[in-house]
Chain A
Amino acid sequence: MSDPIIRTHGLTRDFRVRDGLRRRTVRAVDDLSVEVAAGEAVGYIGANGAGKSTTIKMLTGILVPTSGSVLTCGLRPVADRRRLAREVGVVFGQRSQLWWDLPVRESFRILAAIHDLSTEAERRRTDELVDRLEMAEFLGTPVRQLSLGQRMRAEVAAALLHSPRLIILDEPTIGLDVLSKQRLREFLVAERASHGTTLLLTTHDMGDVERLCGRVLVVDRGRLAYDGDLRGLSRTVGAERVLVVDLAASTGDLTGIPGTRHLASEANGLRQRLAFDAEATTAARVLAAVSERAEVLDLTVEEPDIEDVVRRIYASRR
């Protein structure tokens, strides 16, 4: 296996904050040791203020760590900032990297020059991104006149223009409507499939993690609280999945199915919700048990909510 694309060891960052007249030290990231292999897709989740953005800023050379070490793409982020910038693409959901008063197309041209792309590479990559992110209609529009959905697409394109090996997205879907979120996720899946790009993503949206990330890191007050896949995370905290069934006829509450808990019935029992523990049983088994008692027309399985999972992890550590 090749060297990890991200490797931190004992990474720590303190901030001095003013508390009235006194100053105190807050540890935003605490002894974080983690490795991410090239090609992985990692969701980095945690409550607000848990240290996610601070970690990202240390990975990219914006912030200097208080102690510990970090290598990104084999480079030291602070010392090799400019070399690293050619290997990494970053989107901060709250900050823009586009030129506010210029057309989108012009921002791409400047970025292509900044990253020293050849005319041919610039054209090919811009065309690819414009096509995949459906940006043709607003390429000539000044950035300040874009809708949020359009702007986020342009931001992602701007971060990916130089075909970085690693993309870091800090809350890329914040504030987007369902359709825009969906488009962005599909794009990221396609981008990773065609270029093998490594992805690190912070989010509050479970959908992002489910659709995009094979691995999840949970951070709690600066410390790593979980590292593994999403399933395992649910397992660890015992979060339940919920099977929602639409039935052909009104049916009494479906209680007493092994490994499940009946949560609710709607519309005279036409739709029922059953919580089940993925450890104790499977969706298929629950469905089979339900089918013995009623005809199932449709079903969905709801994954545990990200906030809920994080809350449970936090609770289990305190």
Chain B
Amino acid sequence: MRATVRVYWRLLVAGFRRQSAYLLAAFGGLVANTTFGLLKVAILFATVEAAGGELQGYDVALMSTYIWVSQGLLGSVNLHGGTEIAERIKTGDVAVDFLRPLDVQAASVVTEVGRSLFSLIPRGIPSVLIGALVVGMAAPASPLAYPLGALSVLLGITLSAATVYLLVAAPGFWLVETRGLQVLYMVVSGFLAGLFVPVWLFPGWLQTVAEATPFPAMLMYPVDILSGRADVTAALALLAGQAAWLAGVLLLGQALTRAGRRRLEVQGG
């Protein structure tokens, strides 16, 4: 058990360090995040004001927190569907992964989480700071929101990595080319995760649709906890929801990997 923890910890650190090799790209991402953040400020602030200063519990300050925290998480929560393991399945490099005494799904998810955690440093945190300084934002009432929020961010990041593995990468054992799935994931996940508009502003039926997917748990939940929109009790319920989604997605991914291995036809060489 201790050995297992040590291995996956090492992979997590490796993912973290690998991402640090791409600092310039991260700053490019930060510029894009900030630009779109300001765009969202213009649109969503106008919406709140048009509604008389309050919309579904969002005032301007809370909306600002939603915007900058979600923009900050964008570099870490995978809402683009791209993942290294999909590419490795396509090229056959996954053969090397199967030659290791590791669980292929777990190794992939842990590595991606490591990369995502690093991205919080050059993209996530600065994005929130910029928003706080330039636009201003609401802070949560309870200081407990911060540790709970950190845990929720970690769960959201892990859930997104596990979901991309399940929905985009693992089908590659059958399809080989999964770019179509990736694009579909990108379109659907961002919207349902509440990246463009908070899920709580959706019409009722669409909220129901969103809540039937793991996407809100990736982004909306951690944002709700960190912004203080969810109080401590509500935060605990959101965390439980995230954990449940994560367990389900990981189990399905595991099953699909097992079935997929029998289908694997390593390409070339």
Check B96–A64 contact: CB distance below 8 A. no
Residue of A nearest to B262 (CB): A64
Cross-interface CB contact of A106 among B17, B262, B264, B266, cutoff 8 Å: B17
Specify which chain A residues have a CB less than 8 angstroms from the CB of B93 in the assembled complex: 95-96
Cross-interface CB contact of A113 among B6, B22, B265, B268, cutoff 8 Å: B6
User: Counting CB contacts under 8 A, is A101 at the interface?
Assistant: yes
Cross-interface CB contact of B10 among A53, A83, A85, A109, cutoff 8 Å: A109
Interfacial residues of chain B within 1-26, with CB under 8 A of chain A in the complex:
3, 6-7, 9-11, 14, 17-18, 21-22
Mask for A70-86, Cβ within 8 A of B = 1, else 0?
A: 00000000100111011
Q: How far is the CA of A170 from the CA of B266 in the complex (A)?
A: 14
Check B11–A92 contact: CB distance below 8 A. no
Given A57-B266, A109-B10, A110-B10, A62 contacting B95 (CB threshold 8 A): yes
Q: How far is the CA of A64 from the CA of B98 in the complex (A)?
A: 12
Q: How far is the CA of A214 from the CA of B21 in the complex (A)?
A: 45
Check A63–B264 contact: CB distance below 8 A. yes
Given A94-B269, A99-B14, A142-B21, A62 contacting B99 (CB threshold 8 A): yes
CB distance from B72 to the nearest CB of A (A): 24
Check A90–B7 contact: CB distance below 8 A. no
User: Counting CB contacts under 8 A, is A102 at the interface?
Assistant: yes
User: Counting CB contacts under 8 A, is B92 at the interface?
Assistant: yes
Q: How far is the CA of A33 from the CA of B47 in the complex (A)?
A: 73
Residue of B nearest to A87 (CB): B101
Q: Which of B3, B9, B98, B262 counts the most A-chain CB atoms under 10 A from its CB?
A: B98
Q: How far is the CA of A55 from the CA of B112 in the complex (A)?
A: 32
Q: How far is the CA of A83 from the CA of B101 in the complex (A)?
A: 6
Q: How far is the CA of A114 from the CA of B14 in the complex (A)?
A: 12
User: Counting CB contacts under 8 A, is A222 at the interface?
Assistant: no
User: Counting CB contacts under 8 A, is A127 at the interface?
Assistant: no
Q: How far is the CA of A82 from the CA of B99 in the complex (A)?
A: 8
Check A97–B264 contact: CB distance below 8 A. no
Specify which chain A residues have a CB less than 8 angstroms from the CB of B6 in the assembled complex: 113, 116
Check B100–A85 contact: CB distance below 8 A. yes
Check A102–B17 contact: CB distance below 8 A. yes
User: Counting CB contacts under 8 A, is A115 at the interface?
Assistant: yes
Q: How far is the CA of A83 from the CA of B10 in the complex (A)?
A: 20
Cross-interface CB contact of B101 among A53, A82, A99, A110, cutoff 8 Å: A82
Specify which chain B residues have a CB less than 8 angstroms from the CB of A86 in the assembled complex: 101
Q: How far is the CA of A95 from the CA of B93 in the complex (A)?
A: 6
Residue of A nearest to B103 (CB): A82
Check A95–B269 contact: CB distance below 8 A. yes
User: Counting CB contacts under 8 A, is A60 at the interface?
Assistant: yes
Given A85-B102, A95-B95, A114-B100; 10 other pairs, CB 8 A cutoff = A60-B98, A62-B264, A63-B266, A82-B101, A95-B93, A95-B96, A97-B96, A113-B10, A114-B11, A114-B101
**5 interchain pairs, CB-CB under 8 A:** A85-B99, A92-B95, A94-B269, A114-B10, A170-B269
